[in-house]
Structure 1
Amino acid sequence: MDSLDSLLGTPVARKPREIDVETLRRRLEEAVDGEVRFDTGSRAAYARDASNYRQVPIGVVVPRSLEAGAAAVAVCRARDVPVLSRGGGTSLNGQCCNVAVVIDWSKHCGRIESVDPVRRRVVVEAGAVLDAVDRALAAYGLMMGPRPSSHPTCTIGGMIGNDSCGASAQAYGKMADSVLRLEILTYDGVRAWVGPTGEEEYARVQAEGGRLAEIHRQIRDLRDDTLELIRTRFPRLERRVSGYNLDQLLPENGGNLARALVGSEGTLVTVLRAELAVVPRPAARSLAVLGFDDIFTAADAVPAVAAHRPLALEAMDETMYRLARAEHPNDPALRDLPPGAGWLLVQFGGDTPDQARERAEAMMRDVGRRERGLAPNHLFLGDPVREDRMWRLRESGLGVEAYPPTGRQTYEGWSDAAVPPARLGEYLREYDRLLRRYGYADSALYGHFGQGCVHGRLPLDLHTDDGIATYRAFAMEAADLVADYGGSLSGEHGDGQALAELLPRMYGDGVVEAFGRFKAIFDPRDRMNPGKVVHPRRLDQDLAQRHFYPLEPRHTFFGYPDDHGRFGHAATRCVGIGKCRQGTSEGGVMCPSFRVTREEEHSTRGRARLLAEMVRGDVITDGWRSEAVRDALDLCLSCKGCRSECPVNVDMATYKAEFLAHHYRRRIRPISHYSMGWLPVWAALASSAPRTVNALTHMPGLSRLVKAVAGVAGRRELPRFADERFTDWFRRRDRPGPGTRGRVVLWADTFTDHFDPHVGKAAVAVLEAAGFEVHVPPAALCCGLTWISTGQLATARRVLGRSVRALLPWAEAGVPVVGLEPSCTAVFRSDGPELLNTPQTRLLSERTLTLAELLERHAPDWRPSSTGGAALAQVHCHQSAIMGYDADQAVLDRFGIRTEVLDSGCCGQAGNFGFERRHYDVSVACAEEGLWPALRSAGPDQEILADGFSCRTQVGHSGTGRRARHLAELLAAAIVRP
């Protein structure tokens, strides 16, 4: 067989000449309407996707329009520089990182241009996020067919690049099945819409002539030369995602060039726009869950279940169940699983709930017949809330599997092979034997079993040469096994770098040679995402972990108990899933600044990537002194949303505090670190003459000066000190007799004591009415939060240690400690034990409760004398992340208070963040993402409920005239109401 080079006549993969990076940057800045970034921080943030691979880009371009993106490609062509298009950056096999100019379409190029509900079509730009498209389609009763688990963040262009699937592919097929036409741009400048190319369309293109006609002639020649090869060597498999879709060029498939380009991972063309077919949204859904003795028996049942034509047919095994239970022990979805050690989740649709239910029940009756030899345990949920929880459990697979509580860290590398569903059980048994032989047996098995696609991360050793050699040998055997079963190396995640080298084992040399010819038609110089799919780099090249052992600092302040006590391990915890990039409409708390800026560096993932590069030391070489890392962390609100919402529990607030502590060691800090960072000290000093201090700090003219000196935004009103501290009030009040429910310690944090003593008074009223004997420590006790958030950790340790010692006698006596300010309570519950790492601090953490938690655990039978009302609740980020809101919701329900809990993210104040001059605009923009619009639309009968001092401050700054109240105030009002 002739080599591909000889067939083409010229080398297909020339190395680019030496790149003049500075000139390239200038040319891009001159030609592109967008953001051109060649700085260290941007290159570090885009060096990885969600795979094991790392390739530092030449630079990053964020175009403001499709035309600007096309201009960027033209500049790269003129300089002979590789190009990589990127969407959400969640690819798992390395296709979204390269030594190239990265064009990020996701920030500005996501318009939904038109919806045709009659013809069921939508036209979108490549950077449009799937969930945003689905929201636009929902108004017409339509939706996109494919729905991968990354649906809140993946872009349409990325889905086209990967030929994405998801659970819904069972009913609606892959992304290729949804693509009608694509607007493409070739590296050499051809821009055109392409789609089905029958004889009439082919003749039209040829009549117009030019480069596009040449492309079509070459494609026709390739098709004619390889007709028999493609028809005989392509697996007949719905989940065939590996390789190029050359079968779409066949006459029987309409010669569909658009669909042939789907799944090409940016190696052929740049996709600018897409015209997509959409499907009716099912009016009703139902979910049945089948439990089997093991995952292999579950796989055996797939053909019988699939015969009932469900919308989705998913699976998970006992290992995934155990991992999910360890991560989220109270997840009610776990309790909904029927007995078994392998489960199928089967979703049906219908025009009515009864119809959907009948289809599920018919399937359960059929599959449950003992003559089939299956006899599974089964459960029909029939409740949309429970069904959504079950789907979230299934979608959590990658996250819960990454860092198992016992066992080795797991990695991508062999995570989505697919085989014919009829042979799935047989394949899994043989695959399990292969895993055991290589020592990878503790991997979970789950996935889209209805189409034979199996997911699972592996406990690979990617740090050492021996471990990587073992991984390589395993991948070769695993590829041969899949090929023997007539399967596809990739059933969903694409080839990238992890699988492309193995394509000859699946297709044979002839088909792989045809892939090379197809690539050369569009990209003869190999400048489009080089080294992926065709002319691939080896699967064991460019591994981010290879010989990488983080540069561990000699001293850290936090203990990092979930990361072996190592900051370096924590800094590399992110696996790149990108959930932190979702918008406000998806709910949650995580990454409020990203929601405003849409900047990769302002997502948890982006910041984590910079920290990882810092401890790597070759791109970011100045360690703790790095200005690139400092700038990326600057807009982190320390909301701790990632602590609970990130699938692998990255805790960026802690990492930021650690970084700031070292970055500013023996250096002058920002003025706000001294003003607001030392707020407890200034508050204590002001308590001797609070009215005088208030008068001075709010005097026109002088107030502006005070703010300027303190680094406070001029448009912020400084908080007023209370005339009397809460601790002083409590000390002089008449004490009631002993309570019937025992003692509690009400801890007066700085904010309650000095600014909002009415909250403390209300809490005393509630606690005593509930039968508790209330004690308040006589001396002011601070948790050290303001020092923690500004990275003054040595001081925070001293302050926190003093408070722990003061509260310890009560904690040792079993007396609950009640915190009123969520952020301060969260310090005792979380930051404190990690900062001090003493048994005393851990004991205090166990004893510290919120007001609602105390009432739920120690006074569950107490009812107020009067109930009722309505409230709109803004949950403090730290409460959401550390304590949760279930107890609060239960107490509000007990009091009969109808509560609408906002799920729109952080209020934007976040302690000192929203007061700081340089952060004011982002703070206000965060509030406009959810809180402030909700306040404007709140009913006059709705109380505004916000336990956090910061949240109440932001409510007061909204211009609505609304005042927020603490839970204690609402409950106290219910007690005294006639």
Structure 2
Amino acid sequence: MPTLESTLRHRINGEVRFDAGSRAAYSTDASNFRQTPIGVVVPRTPEAAAEAVAVAREFDAPVLSRGGGTSLAGQCTNTAIVIDWSKYCHRIESVDLEARTCVVQPGIVLDDLNRRLAPTGLRFGPEPATHANCTIGGMIGNNSCGATAQAYGKVVDNIVRLEVLLYDGTRFWCGKTDDDEYAAIERQGDLRATLYRHLRTLRDTQADEIRRRFPDIPRRVSGYNLDSLLPEHGFDVAGLLVGSESTLVTVLRAELKLVPVVKERTLVVLGFPDIEAAADAVPEILPYEPLALEGVDSRLIRDERIKHLNPKARAELPEGDAYLMVQFGGETVEESDEHAHRMLDGLHASEHDPTVAFFDDPSHEAELWQVREAGLGATAHIPGRPDTFEGWEDSAVPPDRLGDYLRRLRHLYGEFGYLSDTGPSLYGHFGQGCVHTRIPFDLYSADGVAAYRRFMERAADLVAEFGGSFSGEHGDGQSRGELLPRMFGEQLVGAFNELKGAFDPLNRMNPGKVVAPYRLDENLRLGADWAPYAPRDLHFAFPDDGGSFAEAANRCVGVGKCRQLTTEGSVMCPSYQVTREEEHSTRGRARLLFEMLDGHGDSAIRDGWRSQAVHDALDLCLACKGCKRDCPADVDMATYKAEFLSHHYEGRWWRRPRAHLSMGWLPLLAQAVGRSRLGPAVNALTHTPPLARVAVAAAGVENREIPLFATETLQQWFARHEPYGDGARGSVLLWPDTFTNHFHPHVGRAAVALLEHAGWRVELPTEPLCCGLTWISTGQLGVAERVLGRTVRHLAPHVRDGGRVVVLEPSCAAVFRSDAHDLFPGDRDVRRLRDRTVTLAELLTEHSPGYEPPQVPERSAHALAQVHCHQHAVLGWDADAELLRRAGVDAERLDSGCCGLAGNFGFEPGHLDVSEACAERVLLPRLRDAAPETVVLADGFSCRTQVAEFDSGGHEGVHLAELLAVGLPGGAGAAYGSAYGVAPDTRPTPPGRRARALALAGSGVAAAGVAGAALGVLRSLRR
């Protein structure tokens, strides 16, 4: 292996990785299987990938091409050299508008392809549910389909040509081959000619058996596409290779057929008493030629309700316990609506008379479509339920027999004990007879694995009886490879083996998949022998995982939503969006943590909590908590990272980065500076060259602008504050978080103005309290528990009396609403604090009946909102949007994800490039295009800091409280000033005027400030 690795590094234009972390990250896909790869190659060009195969051949090493890694049958995991195309090989090389074709590299993501094709009015037709992260190469390998296959067919129906590479180095373009082209190829007398002669002989000898045994259904994905070689299909070698799962060739480029973009769509949702009745209605709908025809049962809706997925869309479903989602298209809304009404008239006249919900608003359609596309994630890890698994997740039968098949399948569930009131759900592409499901197999015990095998065999016989296909979308891989004789017979399976031998006689292309397969109960990711290390000295309780860190790490089901390159209303995973590295995705990090626990004894990661590989993968995790909301399996990587860092540095604090100490202990330093009123002196130290460089080096942080301390803290100001109004609504406690209290007290002053204007009497703690956020994010959990525990005890009397705590900083509110409960799940005061913590918007919209916010002046009435990632993940933004609407603000929520600073992340050494790149994805370009007077709404201190430092347009982020306080009327407005509701001189010094402030501070004052701050810290530590 060392020689193989060094040769690859010398000859490959790309990245070569044989390290433990990379091998662990690629050890599994979205399936039940696990095999650690030899190494990973990330080529920069298709030619570099071809060279990687050449090197592998010289060392007799197996090869596996991988796209998005979301395969459910185990075809993307193997002990091989894995070629990951997705980071660099994503070019569109040409587009032919007249022919409606394009040539692409294999690593391009489907949504990215269609987004770039949008100006042409064309798109690639097949669209799996993973369209935001699946690659074209992976779709070719799996012969993917998706809901739109109803109109456009499978990938095999949408390929013109493929450029392919055999393991022996033979390379050529292939597609349909007429007799003249075949003769020309044969005359070459080379390896390709020999292969084509072999294929024609194989076709001629097997033609009758192919026609007899291949199921005549829309969704036959199992087996090799020998039918593509038949004369009626034009001896299509490209079609033969689609769906071959990297077992025959490496695809270097693909020429795709394109279809016109449907201009208008109409979605009709039909309600039925049960899923079988819905399936029975499918044949009645098919003659109306819908674009898509999907089925969803009530169990899937129930699972989404439990996991709080798609609440708006669920509320719009018609009456029923099962649904068909039928989509029509047309040049105009009227045309697509007409198709839908014609279908409804036909159904009402038949024995099928469903309830109906009708939608031709694109936004509503998109919401409802999410109900269906969330299926895989929604049915995994349901709280209080047994885990469910793939295996039999995509069988397909003739659509006119679908209802009977579902009845028999449900009976089989019952026979094996898999059927109960709680599952499993049935959903899928009903218009083509394809059924998706996840089954509560017991893959943890020998008896359970044996039952899983027996079920798979029985289910295979059932599908064969119905003339169906074991796979209607996800391929055979290892899950169904050994079952293929039950579907095709021994003769055709022998032909599959002969085909494999013709393309790959050495069995080095993804061996053990499809043909000569591993057993379906072999190489299990779990299995009867899975025995991971189970750490018990945990800080977080992991209440949703039975207190087990191993179960938490095992949450990832591999769906790959964290690999999306566009946020589309989500936040995760900002580091992957920048680096496009598997181990920087939520999925990749979860895989490393799973491997770290070494449940099989052969993991590439053998040093547990001390693992540098895991540390490196987690290092670029921004702890944005985006995955806590966006991951369909509820992976919470920010919590996992904090837990890992705590153990990684346990007993060796001196190994911690200085940034963990300086940023983690920032609240204590801020308290010392605030008490001694040395903010100006410290500001001078951190902003006067060369003192600033010394301060940055001493703190161990990135060389970037350090936020300025306020001259007066919020608590100091509030101590002399004269309340405005009568406080008729009662009292509310305003939480003085470190960032508001010591850096941006003007935000707190504006909040006080608003709360008092709304009729609340505001209270503020006088003691130096903290939620512990900075210690949590740096993994100093012992300190965090003590700090947070002290705060909970102090706030307990207030919340026990039913008082609410208003928190202005989203990350601190998230601690009270989430992290605190995970650290102290049995503490009733923590639960009370969680339930009584509100944002400013929540208090004013949900707990202040009759309140109308001040109307914001027209000059500030348009705002771009950068929603803090913790607010997105834990708190939500609906209340903010409603409050802004009432205040007359036209607020556009930026689809920008995390700003990139994420608390301490952007200040830690080595993170600056990633931090700025995150902001450059959407936020900063959008601000550069915005008018100077546009308000940038940013409740998070981190977001405001990032905007202030990197926005060349000079915008300053303002908090919701500041924006609304602009419109305070009468006495309130006079009391708090006209600009942002506070006196102008209390705002932080804008970056452009910093030099003037620094000129007032001498080096002597700075030195005194440092000494005073240090003494204050020491006194605090002694206390």
| Aligned-residue offset at 1:634 | 0.3
Preserved CA contact (<8 Å) 1:152 1:586: no
Shift of 1:306: 1.2
For 1:510 and 1:344, how far apart are their aligned partners in 2? 39
- The aligned length equals 955
Matched, 1:889 2:866: no
Specify which of 581, 591, 594 is matched with residue 609 of structure 1: 591
What is the CA-CA distance between 1:550 and the residue it aligns to?
2.5
1:749·1:780 contact (CA, 8 Å) conserved in 2? Answer: no
Aligned to 1:382: 360
* 1:595 maps to 2:580: no
Give the equivalent residue in structure 1 for 2:985: none
Which amino acid letter does the alignment assign opposite residue 901 of structure 1?
R
Out of 180, 190, 200, the position equivalent to 2:170 is 190
Aligned to 2:797: 809
The aligned residue for residue 684 of structure 1 is 671
Q: What amino acid is aligned across from residue 379 of structure 1 in structure 2? A: A
Letter in 2 for 1:674: L
Partners in 1 of 2:854 and 2:12 — Cα distance?
Answer: 67
Q: Post-superposition shift, 1:711?
A: 1.4
SS in 2 for 1:139: helix
CA contact (8 A) 1:908 1:924 kept: yes
Q: Equivalent residue for 1:5?
A: none
The answer for the alignment partner of 1:10 in structure 2 is none
Equivalent residue number for residue 288 of structure 1:
268
The residue aligned with 2:468 is 487
SS of residue in 2 equivalent to 1:692: helix
Counterparts of 1:577 and 1:736, CA distance in 2: 53
1:356 Cα shift? 0.6
Alpha carbons 1:879, 1:885 under 8 Å: kept: yes
Matched, 1:118 2:98: yes
Q: Aligned residue for 1:169?
A: 149
In structure 1, the residue matched to 2:864 is 872
Residue 782 (structure 1) aligned to one of 766, 770, 792: 770
3-state SS of paired residue (1:508): helix
Give the TM-score, by structure 2 length.
0.92
Instruction: Confirm whether residue 396 of structure 1 aligns to residue 374 of structure 2.
Output: yes
Q: Provide the C-alpha distance between the structure 2 equivalents of 1:696 and 1:943, rounded to a whole number of angstroms.
A: 31
Equivalent pair of 1:36/1:59 in contact (CA under 8 Å): yes
1:53 aligned to 2:33? yes
Q: Distance in 2 between matches of 1:561 and 1:164?
A: 37
Q: Distance in 2 between matches of 1:277 and 1:103?
A: 25
Return the match for 1:732 from 720, 738, 750.
720
Answer whether contact 2:725 2:759 (CA < 8 A) is retained: no
Q: 1:621 matched to which residue of 2?
A: 606
1:671 maps to amino acid: R
Q: Is the 8 A contact 2:817 2:837 kept in 1?
A: yes
Partner of 2:1007: none
Measured after TM superposition, the shift of residue 549 of structure 1 is 3.2
CA apart distance, 1:866:
3.0
Corresponding position: 1:701 with 2:685:
no
Q: Deviations over 1:530-562 (max 9, x none)?
A: 000110010000001112132111210001111
Matches within 5 A, 1:445-464: 445-464=426-445
Distance 1:865 1:776 in 2: 23
The CA distance in 1 between the partners of 2:99 and 2:819, in whole Å, is: 55
In the other structure, the counterpart of 2:282 is 302
1:918 aligns with 2:910: yes
Asked if structure 1 preserves the Cα contact closer than 8 Å seen for 2:854 and 2:965, the reply is: no
- Structure 1 residue 329: deviation in Å? 6.6
1:718 counterpart residue number: 706
Deviation at 1:420, TM superposition (A): 0.1
1:746 counterpart (730, 734, 742) = 734
Tell me the amino acid that sits aligned with residue 739 of structure 1.
G
SS in 2 for 1:416: coil
Per the alignment, do residues 373 and 149 of structure 1 end up closer, same or farther by CA in structure 2, a change over 3 Å counting?
Answer: same
Answer yes or no: is the 8 Å Cα contact 1:167–1:312 preserved in 2: yes
Per-residue deviation, 1:810 = 1.1
| Corresponding letter in the other structure for 1:666 | G
CA distance in 1, matches of 2:934, 2:7: 56
Residue deviations 1:547-600 (CA, integer Å, cap 9, x gap): 213211121000111111111110111010000001136452101111111100
Corresponding position: 1:94 with 2:74: yes
8 Å CA contact 2:845, 2:851 repeated in 1: no
Quote the residue 2:986 is aligned against.
none
How much does 1:185 deviate?
0.4
| Correspondence for 1:818 | 806
Instruction: Tell me, in whole angstroms, the C-alpha distance in 1 between the residues paired with 2:396 and 2:435.
Output: 6
Quote the sequence identity (%).
Answer: 58
Higher deviation after alignment, 543-552 or 156-165? 543-552
- Residue 38 (structure 1) aligned with residue 22 (structure 2): no
Q: Secondary structure at the match of 2:161?
A: strand
5+ residue gaps in structure 2? 979-1023
- Which stretch of the first structure deviates more once superposed, 521-530 or 611-620? 611-620
The question of whether the paired residues in 2 share the 8 Å contact of 1:550 and 1:569 is answered with no
Distance in 2 between residues matched to 1:941 and 1:791, nearest whole Å: 40
Other-structure match for 2:225: 245
What one-letter code is carried by the residue in structure 2 that aligns with 1:921?
D
Output the amino acid matched with 1:387: E
The separation in 1 between residues aligned to 2:753 and 2:532, in whole angstroms, is 53
- Does residue 1:139 correspond to 2:124, yes or no? no
Q: Provide, for residues 885-910 of structure 1, a one-character-per-residue CA deviation record: whole Å limited to 9, x for no partner.
A: 10100000010100111112111001
1:419 equivalent to 2:397? Answer: yes
> 1:290 aligns to what SS in structure 2?
strand
Q: Distance in 2 between matches of 1:329 and 1:242?
A: 32
SS in 2 for 1:205: helix
Contact 1:584 1:929 survives alignment (8 Å) = no
Match of 1:899 in 2: 891
Pair 1:499 & 2:480 matched: yes
SS of corresponding position for 1:402? coil
Contact 2:714/2:742 (8 A) holds in 1 = yes
Query: 1:736 and 1:963 mapped to 2: Cα distance?
Result: 28
Query: Is the Cα–Cα contact under 8 Å of residues 121 and 278 in structure 1 kept in the other structure?
Result: yes
Q: How far apart, CA to CA, are the structure 2 residues paired with 1:915 and 1:151?
A: 35
The residue number in structure 1 matching 2:300 is: 320
Aligned residues of 1:727 and 1:780 also touching (Cα < 8 A): no
1:278 lines up with 2:258 in the alignment: yes
Q: Which residue is equivalent to 2:525? A: 544
What is the match of residue 8 of structure 1? none
SS in 2 for 1:584: coil
Residue of structure 2 in register with 1:27 after alignment: 7
The whole-number CA distance in structure 1 between the counterparts of 2:479 and 2:809 is: 48
Q: Is the 8 A contact 1:759 1:966 kept in 2?
A: yes
Q: Is the 8 A contact 1:643 1:651 kept in 2?
A: yes
Cα separation, 1, equivalents of 2:855 and 2:769: 34
- The residue type equivalent to 1:683 in the other structure is A
Partner of residue 1001, structure 2: none
Give the drift of 1:697. Answer: 2.0
Instruction: Report what 1:3 is aligned to.
Output: none
Distance 1:697 1:60 in 2: 44
**Aligned-partner residue type, residue 455 of structure 1:** H
* SS of equivalent residue, structure 1 residue 724: coil
Indicate if the aligned counterparts of 1:100 and 1:529 stay in contact, CA closer than 8 A: yes
How far has the Cα of 1:737 moved from its partner?
5.2
1:973 is aligned with what amino acid?
V
Runs of 4+ in 1 over 6 A off after TM superposition: none
**Given that residues 205 and 212 in structure 1 are in contact (C-alpha distance below 8 angstroms), is that contact kept between their aligned partners in structure 2?**
yes
**Does structure 1 retain, via aligned residues, the 8 Å contact 2:563–2:576?**
yes
The one-letter amino acid paired with 2:156 is: A
Amino acid at match of 2:577: R
- CA gap of 1:113–1:860, structure 2 versus 1, over 3 A, is farther
Root mean square deviation, CA, Å: 1.1
Does residue 1:212 correspond to 2:192, yes or no?
yes
Summarize the alignment of residues 423-438 of structure 1 with structure 2, pairs less than 5 Å apart: 423-438=401-416
Deviation at 1:477, TM superposition (A): 0.5
Deviation digits for residues 843-902 of structure 1, max 9, x if unmatched? 100000000011111225322443341101100000000001101000000101001111
Q: Please, which runs of 5 or more residues in structure 1 have no aligned partner? A: 1-20
Counterpart CA distance in 2 for 1:768 and 1:357 is: 52
The equivalent residue for 2:418 is 440
Conserved 8 A contact 2:221-2:472: yes
